[in-house]
Structure 1
Amino acid sequence: MTGIELVEHAPHTTHDLPAALGRALAASRIVDAAPDPYRPGGWRLRAGSKVGAVVVRTPGEEPLTLRITPKVPIARLFFLLGYALDPRIHREDAVEVAAHTELVPFLARTYERAQERALRQGVLQGYRHTEEASPVLRGRLRETDQVRRHHGRLFPLEIAYDEYTTDTPENRLLRAATERLLGLPRVPTGVRRALQHQRARLVEAEPLVRGAVLPRWRPSRLNLRYQPALRLAEAVLRGGSPEHLPGDVSVDGFLLDMNKLFEDFVCVALREALTAYGGHCTLQARGVHLDTGATIHMRPDLLRYANDGRPLTVADAKYKAQKPEGFPDADLYQMLAYCTALGLPEGHLIYARGGGLHASHRVRNAGIVIHQHALDLEGQPAQLLGAVRDLARLMAEGTGPESP
């Protein structure tokens, strides 16, 4: 199997690839791919914000394994992911991080540990409501459906019943995530054996059809021990790459979008930190419009409201600036639109960069101040959360330096 290693947001590199594989990568949009005009048979590849591993298969060609390494340490990436999924259940010590330098092995090991803890006390059971046609009466007869579908015939019977079973939404999710991980490249042998054993324990759970909507589950006291594994299972399944492309090309694997991951972490961490200042926060706020006719929709990443419903604070998270010399002007225009529509005197843009840079700009003829902050993802989790708390305090108190 051919393998290519790329680094997130690194410069283009040229690789010799069959034309079909190159076109498949270009169509998948997993990476930027284009023929190299100076090297026959060469393709220029550049990774963007998606990290992980995928296998690309085309008829008549050897499969290609593409691995994209994040710039942040793997341990830090999983801290961001775990905290964004649920700050209450995140555990920094869920897996030894020193031995892992790749995303997929780390993901598989972390998930296997979480699932082992979930299943340690046995497979969760619950009641599943079923409606079906049957030759025997079980539960209750659905009289209306019986008459409408069978026009007076006695059999089959349209029945409804509740069955106590292990075929629950929770177990379906765990089984599907386990099967997805078993299909990924570079899962360690020991982890693969453990996942196979755990899959055997979940054999009664109905397998999910790929591409279908994930089963919905509700956190409760009964599934408390399952919740860390369930959050990870959803991340595994939602991180699945496109499975089929035009023709007979297939792509399978696991990818994380660092843009989305950073946005989710920042918003969740800020929401937690801002609870100390009252009001409530909405993520990806709906019902915000730029115009009075409510035809131009806007979706701020985080919007904090007072108890009486007044907007207090608006923030947007941006993983990477688009120009090397500084933060992009388009982000400032977007935040200006948010502040103008919401009637706020200040807005906050949060970037993923090293150091403690904080710049502020007062808009002419408007008096609106737009703050630009940077979070250092290289720091330890405690330091990163401390920086978020400092940012929440600044946002709540409405203070900060201004540029001329």
Structure 2
Amino acid sequence: MNSGGAEGDIDGDADWGVIELVEHARPVSRRLPDAVGRELAASRIVEAAPDPYAAGLWTLRAGSKVGAVRVEAAGEEPVTLRITPKVAIGRLFFLLGYSLDPRGWRDGDVDVAQHRELLPALAHAFERQVERALGRGLLQGYQATEEASLVVRGRIREAEQIRRRFGAALPVEIAYDEFTTDIAENRLLRAAVERLLRLPGVPRDVRARLLHQRARLADVTPLVRGQELPQWRPTRLNSRYRHALHLARAILDGASAEHRAGALRVDGFLFDMNKLFEDFVCVALREALAPYGGRGSLQARGVHLDEDDAIRIRPDFVWYGERGTPLAVADAKYKAGRPEGYPEADLYQMLAYCTALGLGAGHLVYAKGNAPHTSHQVRRAGTVLHQHALDLDQEPAGLLSDVAELVREMARGATV
């Protein structure tokens, strides 16, 4: 099917199959099974509404979620939505990588130039990182194990022996540390590999390489769906795994669309560009402010608008001084909501943050769209509300340089 770009783009005579949309582009009309259209509307993957004048046609508009998702209705051909981000795939991966690991990620660590769509690029990038991680063999570590055994190994769990065995000599309840490949790092890699293998749209050559990686991880315990993801911490020993683990977490941690709704099955992978931009801005601000001292708090807690602490507010980023005094506040906004400039509601929200934190200035950070940097001084209050725009299409060095300039504005006059 044709890519959605123009207002009123209608393809009513074509069968459903693959529908291509562009993030925040104009709506398109496509013929869909009613059950699929209703599921898309309910899940908020895209904005979806039936055409009141043409039976079977649905108006679809992509928002901030990008990626690919397939919806299958009983007795119908599956419908695949491919939502392309406006930012280049390579730049998207820089934003993702920097927000996950700002000090260890370099632009070029993930080569996705050959892929124009998000899911194929993600699968390719992850498989290449897994290959680098496992190229020298699987990482091993000590795994705490508790079991009943006929042979004493490690230490005897005396309390459990009495409670479970009632004085019997065998089997023995024991605990020991086993040196094994069945550790959190390998479990995460296996789970992410298997997740990608279930998704539609992974290229055949990448799928073949992922199957090879799954075979390497065959002795690792698979994660049960719904199980809490195992935790790992960076060490010198797992440094070669680090990029692969960060991507695995992104694949597994709430970014997928996979569920059944009655006779429907929804399966896919989506990034929310709002969250990705917010994460990048907050991490980049924290890193750029580090030389100034103090600490940066992402999704700041404990901030209330009223004296009774009944109205809780949560700025995206607050910079605190050494004594815990707020020094600056910022909020990330991926897309301006009005063609003529920034949304006024953002200014009211930032004014509330500044008032609650006792700050004379606040900073709204947008992805560059339809307005340049500007500022407003609030009448009678004197509070200055800054609105900054970051150009995501530029090279990473230029993007981080713009963040550094923004930070200099935030730090001006602040005493840590």
Farther off after superposition, 243-252 or 225-234: 243-252
SS at match of 2:182: coil
Shift, 1:175, TM fit: 0.6
| 2:305 aligned residue (265, 286, 290) | 290
Aligned to 2:102: 87
Q: Matches of 1:134 and 1:96 in 2, distance apart?
A: 49
| 1:207 aligned residue (217, 222, 237) | 222
Residues 354 and 362, structure 2, Cα contact 8 Å, conserved in 1: yes
Aligned to 1:67: 82
Farther off after superposition, 220-229 or 353-362: 353-362
Aligned to 2:385: 370
SS at match of 2:256: coil
SS at match of 2:195: helix
Residues 188 and 245, structure 2, Cα contact 8 Å, conserved in 1: yes
SS at match of 2:211: helix
Q: Matches of 1:351 and 1:111 in 2, distance apart?
A: 29
Q: Matches of 1:51 and 1:239 in 2, distance apart?
A: 14
Aligned to 1:255: 270
**Per-residue CA distance 1:340-396 (angstroms, 9 max, x = gap):** 111111110001114881111111221111111111111111111111111111111
Q: Matches of 1:112 and 1:54 in 2, distance apart?
A: 20
| 1:107 aligned residue (122, 133, 139) | 122
Q: Matches of 1:355 and 1:29 in 2, distance apart?
A: 26
Aligned to 1:274: 289
The one-letter code sitting in structure 1 at the alignment partner of 2:163 is: R
Aligned to 1:314: 329
**Per-residue CA distance 1:126-185 (angstroms, 9 max, x = gap):** 111122334443322212122223433444433212111111000000011111112222
Shift, 1:240, TM fit: 4.1
Q: Matches of 1:316 and 1:67 in 2, distance apart?
A: 29
The number of residues matched between the two structures is: 399
SS at match of 2:115: coil
Aligned to 1:235: 250
Farther off after superposition, 355-364 or 202-211: 355-364
Shift, 1:253, TM fit: 1.4
Aligned to 2:207: 192
| 2:358 aligned residue (328, 339, 343) | 343
| 1:328 aligned residue (326, 343, 350) | 343
Aligned to 1:124: 139
The one-letter code sitting in structure 1 at the alignment partner of 2:351 is: L
| 2:372 aligned residue (347, 357, 375) | 357
Residues 54 and 253, structure 1, Cα contact 8 Å, conserved in 2: yes
Q: Which runs of 5+ in 1 are unaligned?
A: 400-404
**Per-residue CA distance 1:300-329 (angstroms, 9 max, x = gap):** 111111112211111000111222222112
Farther off after superposition, 1-10 or 37-46: 1-10
1:79 to 1:248, Cα distance in 2 relative to 1, 3 A:
same
**Per-residue CA distance 1:63-99 (angstroms, 9 max, x = gap):** 2211100011111111111111111221322344432
Farther off after superposition, 352-361 or 295-304: 352-361
Q: Matches of 1:398 and 1:355 in 2, distance apart?
A: 30
Residue 148 (str. 1) matches residue 168 (str. 2): no
1:98 to 1:227, Cα distance in 2 relative to 1, 3 A:
closer
- The Cα RMSD (Å) is 1.8
Farther off after superposition, 292-301 or 37-46: 292-301
Q: Matches of 1:348 and 1:302 in 2, distance apart?
A: 10
**Per-residue CA distance 1:201-228 (angstroms, 9 max, x = gap):** 1111111122322111011111111111
- What is the percentage of aligned positions where both structures have the same residue? 65
The one-letter code sitting in structure 2 at the alignment partner of 1:301 is: D
Farther off after superposition, 38-47 or 347-356: 347-356
The one-letter code sitting in structure 1 at the alignment partner of 2:152 is: L
What are the within-5 Å matches in structure 2 for residues 382-401 of structure 1? 382-397=397-412
Q: Matches of 1:23 and 1:233 in 2, distance apart?
A: 31
Residues 192 and 252, structure 2, Cα contact 8 Å, conserved in 1: yes
Aligned to 1:402: none
Residues 340 and 370, structure 2, Cα contact 8 Å, conserved in 1: no
Residues 142 and 159, structure 1, Cα contact 8 Å, conserved in 2: yes
Aligned to 1:223: 238
Q: Which runs of 5+ in 2 are unaligned?
A: 1-15
1:291 to 1:127, Cα distance in 2 relative to 1, 3 A:
same
Residues 4 and 67, structure 1, Cα contact 8 Å, conserved in 2: yes
Residues 354 and 378, structure 1, Cα contact 8 Å, conserved in 2: no
Q: Matches of 2:225 and 2:59 in 1, distance apart?
A: 31
SS at match of 1:72: coil
Shift, 1:53, TM fit: 0.7
The one-letter code sitting in structure 2 at the alignment partner of 1:59 is: A
SS at match of 1:242: strand
The one-letter code sitting in structure 2 at the alignment partner of 1:340 is: T
The one-letter code sitting in structure 2 at the alignment partner of 1:303 is: V
Structure 1 length as normaliser, TM-score? 0.94
